[in-house]
A = this chain, B = another copy of it.
Amino acid sequence: MNRIESVKNTKVKQWRKLHTKKEREATGTFLIEGFHLVEEALKRKEIIRELIVSEEVSLPSSWNVDDLTMTIVTTEVMKAISDTETPQGVAAICEELIPTNIDSWQKLLFVDALQDPGNLGTIIRTADAAGIDGVVLGKGTVDLYNPKVVRSSQGSIFHLAIKKANLQEMLHIYKEKGFPIYGTSLQNGVSYKEIKPSTSFVLIMGNEGSGVGQDLLAKTDQNLYIPIYGGAESLNVGIATGILLYHLRG
């Protein structure tokens, strides 16, 4: 077991760099924190490169971590690598998650240029709950491994197959397969209530301000809206995703 006491240690500097998207992409790794998230990651042990544990913390006896590389750090080091104000004392370096079962996806969620990390995390958690097979993140969408995305996904990033890809190309693939492709739009389109649930579909959710790009909306089978009955101008994009996914999956 390794032990690190100085925040100036090279490894600590390396871990801290994982707060930036650039470093996450360069290394193909990301940092997670907290008991719940690390426990979820342990279910996919092969992606954990290293556990980082504060010296004052005891790991739950149910955790089977003997075969993992573990580094013990001081509270000060943990604080230095943490993105939260009150670190729980356990963290892990994980390898980027690569979905392997793409050909069998039946229910898909495409995310176009979504910007808020809390929204993306909640949407991933919701898609996981709704039994969606795969999420495809398009260009301009906040980085999946942003600490706030990971945190608000509440571990669902480890359950759900998620892929970064060109949405135009992906849309084309599923259109060829005959899946119904649903865009979402505040203007035009049909109420989601008119759509019958189905076993396979693609739903496209978009940016908080500007919605789904026109280039995508033009290629869908139908564009859906959620009726607004009161005085609100719109729904939060996470809420809208929940209503639509639970309706479409039936």
Contact = CB atoms under 8 A, between A and B. Distances in A.
A33 interface: no
Contacts of A229: 129-131, 249
A156 B125 CA distance: 25
Interface string A209-236: 0000000000000000010111111111
Contacts of A160: 230-231
A159 interface: yes
A112 interface: no
Given A242-B243, A243-B242, A246-B243, A128 B230 contact: yes
A239 B122 contact: yes
Interface in A30-50: none
B122 A230 contact: no
A154 interface: yes
- Of A126, A158, A228, A231, the most chain B CB neighbours within 10 A belong to A231
A59 to B, nearest CB: 20
Interface of A: 122, 125-132, 154-156, 158-160, 226, 228-236, 238-243, 246, 249
The 9 closest A-B CB pairs, nearest first, are A131-B229, A159-B231, A239-B242, A129-B232, A128-B232, A128-B230, A131-B230, A129-B228, A243-B246
